[in-house]
Structure 1
Amino acid sequence: MLENGKLYIGTSRNPDDSLNKPEYLELKFGNRHGIVTGATGTGKTVTLQVLAESFSNAGVPVFCADIKGDLSGIAAMGEAKDWVSKRAEQIGFNDFAFQEFPVIFWDLYGEKGHRVRTTIAEMGPLLLSRLMDASEAQEGVLNIAFKIADQGGLPLMDLKDLQALLNYMGEHATELSNQFGLISKSSVGSLQRGLLVLEQQGAEHFFGEPALKISDIMRTTNDGRGAVSVLAADKLMMNPRLYATFLLWLLSELFEELPEVGDPDKPKLVFFFDEAHLLFNDAPKVLTERVEQVVRLIRSKGVGVYFVTQNPLDVPETILAQLGNRVQHALRAYTPREQKAVKTAADTFRPNPAFDCATAITTLGTGEALVSTLQDKGIPSMVERTLVRPPSGRVGPLSDSERQAVINVSPVAGLYDKDIDRESAYEILTERARKAAEAEAAKRAAEEQANQSGSNDSAAGRWTLPGFGNDSQDEAPRSTSKNGSNGTRRSSGYQRETVIEAAMKSAARSVATSVGRALVRGILGSLRR
């Protein structure tokens, strides 16, 4: 039943419940993307596990998010449960065998797997704006922040780097606005508050170094199987915006870093986006366009993207049209929206005259799905009502000790466990602020010293009125010039007079001269007599 170059999904059956034929997904069309939809409890997670196991055995690395912890069991050998054995027998799966798969566990918080980080710079202003739920004006300021960082040699690694840069922009808003455009202090303040919210939600665990290397989620084992990277997302789902933004960032990194390969014989990586509706909820148009661009073009990089969600209406029509491989589990049709979803799902399939697709969607049993995949020349196959094969790995979560044992022998053990905090925008701006503060303090000290020195010179340089009875100290001694004439040059220690003091001194000398002359005349007159 297993065929080279094809992934066995299950066996379809006729309306009379007789088995029809095995249903396959051809590896060469694995990068043409796909979708797995269905209501809660209809078997989506098991189908995701079946596809992940099949790609791994074909040598294709897989990345998927584990929302409830159930998917972690893929790392352990399957168990002989009644429903597993019954389904394998029912569909004639004679090649079925239990198996464990090479798994690498990841966790943004570092609790249930290896730490996953990226830098603020790698995230970029568009995704960061989405993560912060920024307005258009705030997004503009954030774009300016990244421009300033690029031009100023300010690496943006973690939240404190961006916080420091925003503080700098707020303090220098006027001069920066003249160069880069309006920088509103209110927008800067809103972004700063947004960063605090992200920090409280645990986003500081996500931003920093060492950043995740794309090559570490594209590993293969020595026996040729693809590694299955499982992201622990049970805690991450408490912040759905962070979850969706992280997965979109990872897709964008794959798109930007991987080379063009055209149409390979099998994908380079298959990416499962569980709870895909979170990506598009309240998403601005520019973000939806970005997702559409990535999905459309990443196929040529050899990456297949598979959206997993409850309702096909969760995915925009422009993206839904690009998903060639489809697995539709049961949907309920009680409300008008649910009825619309059923019709939408039915219309996306190539019709099968043997049954009504819309009616079949509402009557599918657990583990049963409508399946249509791309066949020769990329043409969708006629939709078939299919019993999905049982997974070979364990269905259900690993225990904590089992998970830790897998983490300990992981090929990336020790690579991402310790934080690295190298010099970046925060340290550079802090050092610049320190030097500026020291320079300002030195300038103020120099000014104060100059003012003090000038005050002392003014007080010591005033001319004083000579003291009576001590004229010998107040009058400057006359010096003799080189030619023998009496000079009038004052000694270096002689003090200058103020204008008032000079006037008073002159008046005193005039009085003394007049009195002296009167005394002389009186004495001479008495002698004549």
Structure 2
Amino acid sequence: MGEGIYIGFGGGKPQALDLKRANRHGLIAGATGTGKTVTVQGIIEGFSRAGVPCFVADVKGDLSGLALAGSPQGKAHDIFAARAKEIGQDDWAYADTPVQFWDLFGEQGHPIRTTISEMGPLLLSRLMDLNEVQEGVLTIAFHVADKEGLLLIDLDDLQAMLGECAHRADELTTTYGNVSKQSIGAIQRSLLQLRTQGAEHFFGEPALEIDDFLTLDDKGRGIVNILAADKLMQSPKLYSTFLLWLMSELFEQLPEVGDPDKPKLCFFFDEAHLLFDDVPKAVEEKIEQVVRLIRSKGVGVYFITQNPIDIPDTVAGQLNNRIQHKLNAFTPRDQAAVKAAADTFRANPGVDVATVITELKIGEALVSLLQPDGSPTPVEQTLIKAPSSRVGPVTPVERGVLIQTDAIGAKYDSPVDRESAEEILTAKTAQATAAAAAAQASTDAEKQVAAQAKADAIAAKEAARQQATALKEADREQRDAARASANSPWSKIATSATRAAGSSIGRQVANELGRQVFGSSSRGRSSGGGMVGSVLRGVLGGLLRGR
């Protein structure tokens, strides 16, 4: 049999996956309840014992049982023991497998994070379901951030960068092409939807170091990295985009090794059809490229799905190691799947694939694997070996203990928030706002001085006007008083008397008055007093006549 991963017994001989051909990828398919999960569990155990680390997305939680040895009690034990005896697996025994638990949400394992920059605009556009125009705007935002040294680490950074692009839309349109605020608004709304799906937990630091997926335990066994994907499956695009990103990172970071004696890592992608649902042509081409080229990095990719026709032909054609569990043929689509599966196997005269594929029992599969010379084996109906680890999930308490005691420790448990685009752009905006406020304050002060001077001038002018009015009023009152005084009867009497005193008659009267008044005899005073009365009467009469 040579060195390989024991799969089961079929066609009168052991069926094993050759380690030198394990990087040529594979497909494990079958309807629900036919034993796919147990098959995957056994293959992963084999890789771990051979010193090959693995990564697997645990959709239902069942694969977490890899961490603990199976129990020699219960109905399952009887079934597995019987299977081991049936296929002649004399060395079968219960054993655990070293694991590390991961979780994008950090609830059932260590957090897995990456940065917005590492994800890139293509995968982000896929994740946000952007159209071509919006994807172009997002690409411009990435380019501007890179050019200006702005780190895009988390969703806040991307949101701030998009806001900056909206503010500079006219400038960027002239340089890079149309950058409309409508497109930026649509991308911002998509970011909000990503937040509601929990994607903000995925973007940040410390970012995952791929080397932490490529480790061995102290016994030389490959550590199995199990991603808790039950909650993640509620956001299918986030799930598929994350796994595509992870494969892309492996492809970009690992060195070329050609065809090694055994893989550096085996990647198991459960519910693989999600990767191809409503996928844009550009993303499908990206998947095809990664699957085709990543084998030269020593990575084997194994797709797990219910129906083999869920995998596009361009990708399925590169999956050389095939394990097909039972398929139903109830619908036209099911029948097409049966035919497609039958056509992909290397023919075996002793196996009617189209018939057998609908009659397989639980724990049986049609198997065709690459031989050391690179050619596929003829398809064989195979009894799949029993797993050594627990079939079924670990308890929350067991999971907690395993997380606390694994080799990763607390390396990824606490997020790190260093200065990036959001902080830099916020500071830039604050500085611009402060400068504008200072300029506005200076302008306001100048306006206030000018307004005060204008008010003072108006007040002075009003005071002068009021003063002039008061003077005019006083002058008018003085003239009116003078006229009133001149027109009074006593004023007229005084005026006439003054005039009379200046005439000759006046002087005579005055002299006579003097003699009469200043005479010494009583008789003279008496007669003089009569003369005064006559003179006064004459004067008064003259005044009256003059009037």
TM-score band (shorter)? 0.7 to 0.9
Q: Does 1:194 align with 2:190?
A: yes
**Equivalent in 400, 409, 415 of residue 411 of structure 2:** 415
Q: Does 1:270 align with 2:262?
A: no
Q: Does 1:33 align with 2:29?
A: no
Q: Distance in 2 between matches of 1:459 and 1:45?
A: 88
Structure 1 residue runs of 4+, over 6 Å off?
457-465
- Counterpart amino acid of residue 36 in structure 1: I
Q: Deviations over 1:279-303 (max 9, x none)?
A: 0000011100000000000000000
The number of residue pairs the alignment matches comes to 461
- Structure 2 counterpart of 1:384: 380
Q: Distance in 2 between matches of 1:347 and 1:458?
A: 96
Q: Distance in 2 between matches of 1:39 and 1:453?
A: 85
Q: Deviations over 1:369-424 (max 9, x none)?
A: 00011103200111110000001111111011111111011111100110111111
Q: Deviations over 1:19-67 (max 9, x none)?
A: x110011000010000000000001001110110000000000000111
Q: Distance in 1 between matches of 2:266 and 2:359?
A: 30
- Structure 2 counterpart of 1:43: 35
- Secondary structure (helix, strand or coil) at the match of 2:6 reads strand
Q: Distance in 2 between matches of 1:397 and 1:451?
A: 75
**Equivalent in 47, 54, 60 of residue 62 of structure 1:** 54
Alignment of 1:217-296 (within 5 A): 217-296=213-292
1:95 Cα offset (Å): 1.2
Q: Does 1:307 align with 2:299?
A: no
1:459 Cα offset (Å): 7.7
Q: Distance in 2 between matches of 1:57 and 1:369?
A: 23
* Structure 1 unmatched ranges of 5 or more: 14-19, 468-529
Q: Does 1:329 align with 2:325?
A: yes
Q: Distance in 2 between matches of 1:73 and 1:100?
A: 9
Aligned 8 A contact 2:121 2:139 in 1: yes
Q: Distance in 2 between matches of 1:357 and 1:368?
A: 13
- Secondary structure (helix, strand or coil) at the match of 1:246 reads helix
Aligned 8 A contact 2:351 2:380 in 1: no
- Counterpart amino acid of residue 427 in structure 1: E
Q: Distance in 1 between matches of 2:161 and 2:18?
A: 50
Q: Distance in 2 between matches of 1:413 and 1:180?
A: 46
Q: Deviations over 1:204-254 (max 9, x none)?
A: 111111111101111111211100000000111011111000000000000
Q: Distance in 2 between matches of 1:460 and 1:160?
A: 53
1:457 Cα offset (Å): 6.2
**Equivalent in 71, 78, 89 of residue 63 of structure 2:** 71
- Secondary structure (helix, strand or coil) at the match of 1:106 reads strand
- Structure 2 counterpart of 1:177: 173
Q: Does 1:133 align with 2:125?
A: no
Q: Is the helix fraction higher in 1 or 2?
A: 2
- Structure 2 counterpart of 1:5: 3
Aligned 8 A contact 2:21 2:372 in 1: no
**Equivalent in 355, 375, 385 of residue 359 of structure 1:** 355
Alignment of 1:147-166 (within 5 A): 147-166=143-162
- Counterpart amino acid of residue 8 in structure 1: Y
- TM-score, normalising length: structure 2: 0.82
Aligned 8 A contact 2:214 2:265 in 1: yes
1:461 Cα offset (Å): 9.2
Q: Distance in 1 between matches of 2:455 and 2:401?
A: 85
Q: Distance in 2 between matches of 1:24 and 1:422?
A: 49
1:313 Cα offset (Å): 0.5
Q: Deviations over 1:85-109 (max 9, x none)?
A: 1111111111111100100000011
Aligned 8 A contact 2:57 2:268 in 1: yes
Q: Does 1:320 align with 2:312?
A: no
- Structure 2 counterpart of 1:517: none
1:327 Cα offset (Å): 0.3
Q: Does 1:346 align with 2:342?
A: yes
1:452 Cα offset (Å): 3.5
1:179 Cα offset (Å): 1.6
**Equivalent in 211, 219, 243 of residue 207 of structure 2:** 211
- Counterpart amino acid of residue 140 in structure 1: G
1:456 Cα offset (Å): 5.6
Aligned 8 A contact 2:351 2:381 in 1: no
**Stretch of structure 1 that moved more, 80-89 or 229-238:** 80-89
- Secondary structure (helix, strand or coil) at the match of 1:55 reads helix
With over 3 angstroms needed to count, the CA separation of the structure-2 counterparts of 1:464 and 1:387, relative to structure 1, is closer
Q: Deviations over 1:485-524 (max 9, x none)?
A: xxxxxxxxxxxxxxxxxxxxxxxxxxxxxxxxxxxxxxxx
- Secondary structure (helix, strand or coil) at the match of 1:378 reads coil
- Secondary structure (helix, strand or coil) at the match of 1:377 reads coil
- Structure 2 counterpart of 1:124: 120
- Structure 2 counterpart of 1:508: none
- TM-score, normalising length: structure 1: 0.85
1:125 Cα offset (Å): 0.5
- Secondary structure (helix, strand or coil) at the match of 1:393 reads coil
1:447 Cα offset (Å): 1.5
**Equivalent in 371, 374, 384 of residue 370 of structure 2:** 374
- Secondary structure (helix, strand or coil) at the match of 1:97 reads coil
In our comparison, the structure showing a higher alpha carbon Rg is 2
Q: Distance in 1 between matches of 2:137 and 2:174?
A: 14
1:449 Cα offset (Å): 2.2
- Counterpart amino acid of residue 195 in structure 1: L
- Structure 1 counterpart of 2:80: 84
Q: Deviations over 1:74-125 (max 9, x none)?
A: 0001123111111111111111111001000000111110011111111100
